[in-house]
Every structure is written in structure tokens, then in C-alpha cells.
Amino acid sequence: MNSYLAQLVFAMVAVAGLLFGAPSVLAIAILHVSVDQIVRSNLVSLAEGSQQGTVDEQALRRIERLFFAVGAVWAMAAWPLAEGLDGLRLLLTVVSAAGLLVMANTTCHAPRVFRAAVIGYGLTLTAAIPMITIIPWYVLGGGVVALLVVVVATGASTARQLLQMLRVQAERDDAITAQARTIADLDAARKAATVQAETDSLTKLANRFRFLRELDARIAAGERFSLTLFDIDLFKNVNDALGHHIGDQVLKVVGRALAASHADGFFAARLGGDEFALIAPRADEECRGEAIFADVERAIAELLSRAVDLPPITITGGSAYFPKDAESRSELLAAADIAQREAKKARRGAHLDFDPNLSDIFWREAQIAQAVSEAIESRALYLCFQPKIDLESGCVVGGEALSRFSSEKLSSHSLDEIFEVAERRGLGTTLDELVLDIYREALISLRDDHGISLPTSVNLSGAILKAPERLLGKLRALANAGLDPALTRVEITENAISGRGQAGVIELLDQIVGLGFSFALDDFGTGSGALRHLVSLPVAEIKIDRSFVAAMDADTKNLAVIRGMIVTGNDMRIDIVAEGVETQEQADMLREMGAQFAQGYLWARPLPFVQFVEFARRFGADAKPARVGSPRTLRVAAAQDAA
């Protein structure tokens, strides 16, 4: 600022010298302004380099030489200016000198610049002293003193201030740079964590969470697209026969096939297990799910042809279209799932588009899912207990808790259908949690209100196996309520276990047993790998499915299967419970073959809680009822209770 002010003043002096015919004043003023401009441009260049942490020594030496000239100009200006107005013009020169020196401070090399200016001023003034006769000594001395005071006082203090400012600025710049680097690192870490959280670790495809978000985004945007769901046929057999490492390789092959088949707008994901999904934009009606499915099949076949250690596989799928087939995410997923299930009924390796003819199935499921959701919210669920009978003594030795819904909307649907729809619609885990909550309340009432300590089992759909922590949390709550875990048996069907990660299921069941609970395998013999389950899982009880018991009188093959189950279970010290016993002859045959326990209409249907309590009191171990060989007493009691 001072430099600009000095240039303005000396420009005005130059104009005055021109108007009043003072050529020496004009020349000195023009020379001063020119040198001032040259010095300022060099100082700015040097200051920029200093702020970046480098010093241009050549530029600094050039500026020092320029300030020798500046000092000489100041001395030359003092003589003619003093001739005209004594010390007033000399004071203007001093002000200009101060401006240049203050600007020089910005280089952080002010002492060297000061020294050059003072030396140039002193040498020139000394050389001119013999010619100076009209300048009073006090004017000349005053000018020199004023110059030195301005140079030393103003320049030095300004240099310190500017040096501090530059140091603070440098520290602030470093802090800003470090902060920007930290923010960039945090942003990169956040993006990496987001990608990892939304990516399937095995196939590197999007996971279920990211898939649902993508599906919602496309629906919200009103895009037209197809959704194809498919899974690997008999994938569980691959895992069981060849091992999970081969199963993982097969899943990776499918993932690579989907990644390779991607075009603009396509989106693939692994939903879990061997379930995959593919979203494809519909440029026109020719972009059908069947063609997309065929492309995926060809890509998988090509990859498998180069992997000689992997078995051949097929996939089965179903497609639905938005917005033609559905208007929401849940409806679209349900439509594609229905199409896939109908394709499986036709043959393995098939594909089927959702068709209006399937709408009855679709809307039936939608209504069931809505009713289940309402039942969960209102807790419109209660438990019935079917007595478990000791075939040898005829005593009630336990009971199985079976779910029942008080909702009229669900009264016309079977429990199997309700729980299957609930699991497909993502309600299965919540429904199983509700069952466990009501079961815990029933056991507390059995203990506190009725003084009965009786082993019972609770029948779950198996959907909660997908959420191990939630299942374990409910069981811990049961134990924390003071209920003996040894009196509770978690009962899950073979089909509910089949198809899930075997290692994960074994680990979960081991944790359940570790908490003191036991595990029963329901509907034994109807699922695949029944005997393998006895070897690999911590099974405490197997329940022979009612279909085998119903046919045992007329079919010797069924009788042989039952006998084999009983012998195997007894040898492995596993409890055997026969389900669906309806006749005395069936009870006698089962007892003679070595079965220990049974359930069925021969003794009682599933009873409401209060009736089960009364039944257990009348026919428990302490009541000592008649032998099961003549269970007339129990049948009569059951008939009276039913009435």
C-alpha cells in the first residue's frame, strides 16, 4: 500500500515539475516511479517463492542491487527537492523509501534489502556533499536521520509482524493440508467400508441389502425392468457330497457368469445361499426374462467347461416385470418367487415368466402375508400342547407346543402354508420370535400358577436359523426367567434344516446345546440326508413322521423303515417319538419294536394350555394311569376334554 502511495505522490510531483518548468524534479520523479515499479515486481516474485518454501538466491541478489539504485535515487531526490521546498520534498522521499522497505519485508529477507538501500543512499549522498552548498546542514541531517528512523523502526517492526504472519499462514496451510488429507482418508475408508458392507464376500456381487436398495431406487424412478430370481438345483447335494470348498467354487462360477453377462443397466446380486437375482432394463418387450436366463446358463456352462474339477450344474429361475406384474417391491419379489417355484414343479433347469394365471397363488400368498403381519403385531397367536406319552408306562411325560392363530383370516390355511409364506415374505424370523415369547410365558405360568415341572418342546419353522443371535437371545431370555433349559427342547423339521449352510447349522445347534437346551428333529425320514443328520447334528430326539406310522399296518416297507429308525436311534441313544398314532395296534407295534414315546389322537389332540395342564395332572407319572396296552382311560378323558 505504501509503495502505491509513494508512486501516486511522485507521479503528482512529476506533473508539477512539468507544469512549473522544473526538469530536474520531473526527471527524479519519473526515475523514482520506474525504479519503484521494477523493485515491486521482483519483490512479488521473491515473496511467492518464499511462501512455497524455496528462496531464489539469484532474485534476492538482483533485488539487493536494485535497492542500491533505490538508495541512490533517494539521495539524488533529496538535493533538488530540498532546493525548492527545503525539507518538505525530502520528507516525501523518506515516505517513499518507507513504502518500498515495508514491501521488502514480505520477502522475509528485509535486513539484506535494508542494508543495500542504506549503503546506496549513503554512498550517493556522500559523493554529492561537495556539490551541496545551498542545503542547510540541519535539513540534510534531518533527512538522513528521518530516513534511518523509518528504515530501522518502521521496517524492522513490520518485518517482525509480517514474518509472524507468514509463519502463522504456513502453519495454517499445513493444518489445512493435513485436515484435507485426513478427510480424504476418512472418506476413502468410508467408501471402502460401504462397498464391503454391500458386497458378497464370496462372489463379489452385490449382497441382499444393496440389491433391495437398487430395487427400491428403480421402482421409485418408475423404470421398466425385469427381475429374475434363480438358484442352483440340488446345490445342497453338491455341498454334502463334494464338500463346501467345491460348493464355494460353484457359487464363484455363477458369480463370474453373472458379472460377465452384465450389460448397461444390468444389476446382479447374491441374495444368500445359492439364491441369485438379476435386474435387467426392458428396452422393449423383446427383452424377456427367458432370454436373459438363457444367457446366464450359457455363461455358466462355458465357465464350467474350463473347470474340470467342478460338477455340472443347472439353475432354475422365474421372472416378473415391473410395473406390469407388480407395483411394489414385495409384490414384485413375490411374483418372481412364485414363477420360480412353478418352474421347479415343471422340471429342474426350467425358467418361467410370471403369468396372470398364477395371480390366484400370488394374491393368496399376499393375503396370508398381510394376515400374518397383523397377527404378529396384535399377538394373535396362542399355543396348544400335544401330550407326549411314554409307551411303556402310559404316563404323560411331556408335551409339544404347537402354534395356533386366533385370526379369522388365517383359519382356513394350514400351519405349514402359513409358516412357508411367512418365511418367503421375510416374516418367518419375527414369527418364530413371537412363538418363543408366548412359549416362555406359558412355561412361567405352568411353573408359577400350576406348580408343574414338565419337559416340553417348542415347534419352530426354522426361519430363525437365519438369525442365530436372535434365536440365542430368545433362549437366553427363557433361561434368565429362571426356567430350566434342560426341560426345553427346540424342535425343527428336517426340511427346515436342509438347504442351509451345514457348518453354520451345526455351530448354532452346538451353541443351543451349550446353553443347556436340547434339539429334536421333527418329521424324521421325510427330508434328504436323514441318517447324515443323525451323525452330524447334536440330535437328542427324532420324531418319526406320521406318514410312516399311518402306513405301517398295510405296508411292510414302511414297517421296515420304522424299525430301522428305532434301532438306529436306540443304538445312538437318541429318544424316539412316533407321531400320528391313532390306533391301539399302532401303539402296540411301536412299543414292541422299541419305540419309547408317542403322540397322536389315540390319547389326545393338541390341547389348549389349561386343558393340557389338567391332562398332565390326571395322567402324569404321579397319577399312574392304566398301561398303554389298554389306554381306554386316556381316550375317555380326551373325549371329555374335547367336549
Number of compact structural domains in the chain? 3
In this structure, is residue 505 part of a structural domain?
Answer: yes
Based on the domain organization, do 344 and 413 belong to the same domain?
no
Based on the domain organization, do 165 and 226 belong to the same domain?
no
Based on the domain organization, do 22 and 108 belong to the same domain?
yes
Angle value at C-alpha 470, between 380 and 477, nearest 5 degrees:
75
Q: What does the alpha-carbon distance between residue 218 and residue 211 come to, in Å, rounded to a whole number?
A: 11
Which range, of 63-72, 130-139, 566-575, averages the lowest pLDDT? 130-139
Q: Which three cell numbers stand for residue 16?
A: 508539477
Position 627 pLDDT exceeds 50: no
Based on the domain organization, do 527 and 624 belong to the same domain?
yes
For residue 559, the model assigns a pLDDT of 87
Question: What's the distance, Cα to Cα, between the start and end of the chain in Å?
Answer: 108
Based on the domain organization, do 450 and 472 belong to the same domain?
yes
**CATH assignment at residue 278:** 3.30.70.270
Please report which confidence band the pLDDT of residue 108 belongs to, taking 50, 70 and 90 as the band edges: very low
Among residues 153, 173, 193, the one where a domain terminates is 173
- Running DSSP on this structure, what letter comes out for residue 465? G
In this structure, is residue 24 part of a structural domain?
Answer: yes
Based on the domain organization, do 159 and 221 belong to the same domain?
no
Position 18 pLDDT exceeds 90: no
Which range, of 96-105, 114-123, 332-341, averages the lowest pLDDT? 96-105
Among residues 328, 354, 380, the one where a domain terminates is 354
For residue 204, the model assigns a pLDDT of 86
Of residues 142, 100, 102, 148, the one with CA closest to residue 121: 148
Q: In the predicted model, what is the mean pLDDT of residues 383-408?
A: 93
For residue 49, the model assigns a pLDDT of 62
In this structure, is residue 85 part of a structural domain?
Answer: yes
Based on the domain organization, do 447 and 501 belong to the same domain?
yes
For residue 493, the model assigns a pLDDT of 82
- Running DSSP on this structure, what letter comes out for residue 265? T
Domain range for 500? 366-642
For residue 639, the model assigns a pLDDT of 45
Burial class for 357, CB neighbours closer than 10 Å (0-12, 13-18, 19+): exposed
Helix residue spans in 347-414 (DSSP H): 359-378
Based on the domain organization, do 378 and 339 belong to the same domain?
no
pLDDT per residue as tens digits for the range 176-190: 877 888 787 777 777
pLDDT per residue as tens digits for the range 503-537: 677 888 889 999 999 999 887 766 555 566 677 78
Based on the domain organization, do 404 and 308 belong to the same domain?
no
Is residue 335 within 8 Å of residue 353, measured between CB atoms? no
pTM for the model: 0.55
Based on the domain organization, do 312 and 388 belong to the same domain?
no
Among residues 146, 173, 200, the one where a domain terminates is 173
Is residue 122 within 8 Å of residue 85, measured between CB atoms? no
In this structure, is residue 234 part of a structural domain?
Answer: yes
Position 442 pLDDT exceeds 90: yes
Quickly tell me which residue has 415368466 as its cell.
Answer: 353
pLDDT per residue as tens digits for the range 454-500: 999 999 988 888 888 999 999 999 999 999 999 999 998 877 776 54
Q: What does the alpha-carbon distance between residue 423 and residue 418 come to, in Å, rounded to a whole number?
A: 9
In this structure, is residue 194 part of a structural domain?
Answer: no
Position 128 pLDDT exceeds 70: no
For residue 88, the model assigns a pLDDT of 44
Burial class for 582, CB neighbours closer than 10 Å (0-12, 13-18, 19+): middle
DSSP 3-state of 479: helix
Q: How many residues does the chain have?
A: 643
Based on the domain organization, do 473 and 615 belong to the same domain?
yes
Based on the domain organization, do 349 and 371 belong to the same domain?
no
For residue 47, the model assigns a pLDDT of 63
In this structure, is residue 182 part of a structural domain?
Answer: no
Q: In the predicted model, what is the mean pLDDT of residues 345-366?
A: 83
**CATH assignment at residue 398:** 3.20.20.450
In this structure, is residue 481 part of a structural domain?
Answer: yes
Give the distance, in angstroms, between the CA of residue 56 and the centroid of all CA atoms in the same chain.
54
Q: What does the alpha-carbon distance between residue 156 and residue 162 come to, in Å, rounded to a whole number?
A: 10
For residue 115, the model assigns a pLDDT of 60
In this structure, is residue 583 part of a structural domain?
Answer: yes
